[in-house]
Amino acid sequence: MKDSRHFIGAKTTKEEMYKAISEPQGLEGWWATSAKGDPEIGKTIALYFKDLTTLKFNYTTLIPYEKLELTCCEGPPQWQDTILTFELEEKEGQVFLTHTHSNIPSGDIESLTYFNTKWTVYLLSLKNFLETGKGTPYPTELKLYHED
């Protein structure tokens, strides 16, 4: 299995960052068109990407203001059983987020490459959402290619 790993810093609080990555309203601000679910261990969050797909994740780790882990339980094959980990650290007047998308099948280089590039787009959307109040969730995010 392969991992895609990213790192950003944002001028925000750990509380605001955590809400943005764990709660439906936050996720709608930078990633998905809409979202439904309750951030509780064992519960599921559904992320809707207008006219494209729906991704469902189980909350597997919730350490408020420190760490969030989601495991994909429903979505396209390349997403199945992959794990999203978000770890927060506050220092130097900002909050740093380390994001890992893990459990990507080793032989699926195309998906690994896509995830690696597209997460950069969405994490910069998260940074903008937290710092300016305006992110670029799907379908307004920067496209990697036509029909992306």
CATH level 2 (architecture), domain 2-132:
2-Layer Sandwich (3.30)
Question: Would you state the pLDDT for residue 106?
Answer: 82
Question: How far is the C-alpha of 28 from the C-alpha of 37, rounded, in Å?
Answer: 12
Question: Would you state the pLDDT for residue 107?
Answer: 85
Handedness of CA 60, 6, 116, 133 (dihedral sign): positive
- Residues 71-92 have pLDDT tens digits of 999 999 999 999 999 999 999 9
Q: Where are the domains of the chain?
A: 2-132
Q: pTM here?
A: 0.96
- Residues 36-50 have pLDDT tens digits of 999 999 999 999 999
> Is residue 68 within 8 Å of 86, Cβ to Cβ?
yes
Question: How far is the C-alpha of 44 from the C-alpha of 38, rounded, in Å?
Answer: 7
> Is residue 71 within 8 Å of 60, Cβ to Cβ?
yes
Question: Would you state the pLDDT for residue 118?
Answer: 97
pLDDT along the chain (148 residues), means of 10: 95 98 98 98 97 97 98 96 98 97 91 95 98 98 93
* CB hemisphere CA count around 113 (13 angstroms): 5
Question: Would you state the pLDDT for residue 75?
Answer: 97
For residue 92, the tally of other CB atoms under 10 A from its CB is 8
Question: Would you state the pLDDT for residue 1?
Answer: 84
Question: Would you state the pLDDT for residue 56?
Answer: 98
Question: Would you state the pLDDT for residue 72?
Answer: 98
